[in-house]
Amino acid sequence: MNAHEIDFQIHGEEMQYVEIALDPQEAVIAESGSFMMMESGIAMDTIFGDGSNQDNSVLGRIFSAGKRVLTGESLFMTAFLNQGQDKKHISFAAPYPGKILAVDLSEIGGKFICQKDAFLCAAKGVSIGIEFSKRLGRGLFGGEGFIMEKLEGDGLAFVHAGGTLAKKILAAGEVLKVDTGCIVGFTKDVDYDVEFVGGIKNTIFGGEGLFFATLRGPGTAYIQSLPFSRLAGRVWAAAPKEGGKDVGEGSILGGLGRILDGDNRF
């Protein structure tokens, strides 16, 4: 294997974290902000790009890191290396309620395509790049733009899905229609496109957006019930607005409750 062979265990239900066991000189890479805890003997190092060994030239590393900028991520990633003599453990946490999915790239043809915010961490040697869309409709209306993230190699990678995770195994020619924000990722053989919902009533009054994604088999797709954009939208809609009225949704006391809490704004 080119990627480090790591062991892991996923803990929790609604707010999960993945605990990875590193043998001496094994390493894992992660996005900034996902680190939770680690045992002593593990060294942390900021690296340029993803740390994969596909192209060790200076130009290759610059190009690898530059691709990450197009997905909205940092030029740098963090590598955690076990420098001790014994097995050490390190944990990475999900950013919001949902499920962590372990993807063994060696079992699915060496490539997994996912939405750009899904990646959590991976064994060192896994390449984290971008997947350009060749279709104009998908690029303009797909929710994720022209670019999705691709994980390549033969190691373990971990992605996060919001809410409940659904696994759909698609037969050849079978089509699954999905809200564009609900896609977590899919195997490399799945054909992904975007379709117009259609119909005046659906367009104006449907409330589900103008487009949905179509996933055509063969392959496996993973769907999330709670995209972060949907969660953030609900939180923003429910948050009290400065200068506006907050009626206290779901509260019998409403404004009286705010007075008792010391907030006299109406």
Q: What is the mean pLDDT of each run of 10 residues along the chain (266 residues)?
A: 86 93 94 90 85 57 57 74 95 93 95 90 90 56 61 94 95 92 93 72 50 90 87 76 55 49 50
Residue (of 153, 134, 151) closest to 142 by Cα position: 134
Question: What per-residue confidence (pLDDT) applies to 211?
Answer: 73
Separation of alpha carbons 150 and 132, rounded Å: 10
Q: Please, are residues 48 and 66 in contact by the beta-carbon 8 Å criterion?
A: no
Number of domains within the chain: 1
The CATH number given to whatever domain includes residue 125 is 3.60.160.10
- Give the Cβ contact number of residue 14 at 10 Å: 11
Strands 88-93 and 165-170, by their bridges, are: unpaired
pLDDT at 134: 53
In three-state secondary structure terms, 138 is: helix
264 is a domain residue: no
CB of 16 within 8 A of CB of 98? yes
Domain-located, residue 245? no
CA 59 to each of CA 66, 80, 91, 169, 171: distance values in angstroms, whole numbers, following the listed order: 10, 24, 32, 39, 41
Q: Is residue 26 part of a domain?
A: yes
| Model pLDDT, residue 29 | 93
Q: Is residue 65 part of a domain?
A: yes
In this predicted structure, what is the pLDDT of residue 223?
A: 96
Whether 243 is in a domain gets the answer no
Which residue is listed with tokens 């609604």? Answer: 14
Under the phi-then-psi rule, with left for phi > 0, alpha for psi from -120 to 50, and beta for the rest, what region is 173? left
Instruction: Give the model's pLDDT for residue 64.
Output: 56
The token duo for 74 is: 């940092």
pLDDT computed for residue 20 by the predictor: 97
3-state secondary structure of 63: helix
> Whose structure tokens read 């390449």?
127
Q: Whole-angstrom Cα distance, residue 246 to residue 238? A: 9
By residue range, what is the domain housing residue 123? 7-238
197, part of any domain: yes
The answer to whether 116 and 147 are in contact (CB under 8 A) is yes
Q: Give pLDDT, residue 181.
A: 85
Tokens of 134: 């060749």
Token readout for 54 is: 């596909």
Q: What is the DSSP letter of 184?
A: E
The predicted model scores a pTM of 0.78
In a domain, 255, yes or no: no
Q: Decide if 215 is inside a domain.
A: yes
Q: Which residues, 6 or more positions from 111, have their beta carbon under 8 angstroms from its beta carbon?
A: 105, 150, 151, 152, 187, 188
